[in-house]
Amino acid sequence: MSTIDPAQSTLAVVVLLAITVMTVTLAGVHVRLDAVAAVARAAVQLLVVAVVIAWVFNHPEGVALYLGVMVVAATATSARRIRCGVGLAPLVGLAIVVGATCAVVPVLASGALEWRSETIVPFAAQIIGGSMTAASLTGSRLRDDVARDWGRVEAWLSIGATPRQAVAEQGRLAAGRALIPAIDQTRSAGLVTLPGAFVGLLLGGASPAEAAEVQLLVLAGLLAAETIAAVLTARLLSDWLGTTRPELVE
Q: Percentage of residues in the chain with pLDDT exceeding 90?
A: 48
Mean pLDDT of all residues in 96-106: 95
Least confidently predicted of 69-78, 128-137, 212-221, 233-242: 212-221
Instruction: Give the pLDDT band of residue 81 (cuts 50, 70, 90).
Output: very high
143 pLDDT above the threshold of 50? yes
19-48 confidence digits (pLDDT tens): 999 999 999 888 899 999 999 999 998 889
Mean pLDDT of all residues in 110-134: 90
Mean pLDDT of all residues in 102-121: 89
Quote the CA–CA distance of 97 and 115 in Å, as a whole number: 19
Contacts of 121 (CB under 8 A, 6+ apart): 53, 56, 57, 63, 66, 67
157-187 confidence digits (pLDDT tens): 889 888 888 888 999 999 999 999 989 888 8
197-234 confidence digits (pLDDT tens): 677 766 666 777 877 888 888 899 999 999 999 999 99
Domain locations in the chain as residue ranges = 1-58, 62-241
146 phi/psi in degrees, rounded to 5: -65, -40
* pLDDT, mean over the chain: 88
Residue with more model confidence, 4 or 127? 127
248 pLDDT above the threshold of 80? no
How much helix, strand and coil, in percent to the nearest 5, is found in the chain?
Answer: 80, 0, 20
Quote the CA–CA distance of 237 and 182 in Å, as a whole number: 22
52-67 confidence digits (pLDDT tens): 888 888 888 888 999 9
pLDDT of 204 reads: 67
**62-241 has which fold?**
Multidrug efflux transporter AcrB transmembrane fold (1.20.1640)
pLDDT of 5 reads: 76
Instruction: Give the pLDDT band of residue 3 (cuts 50, 70, 90).
Output: low
86 pLDDT above the threshold of 50? yes
pLDDT of 1 reads: 44
- b/e per residue 8-30 (b: at least 16 CB within 10 A): eeeeeeeeeeeebbeebeeeeee
| CA 232 vs CA 36, 75, 148, 163, 164: distances in Å | 37, 14, 22, 15, 12
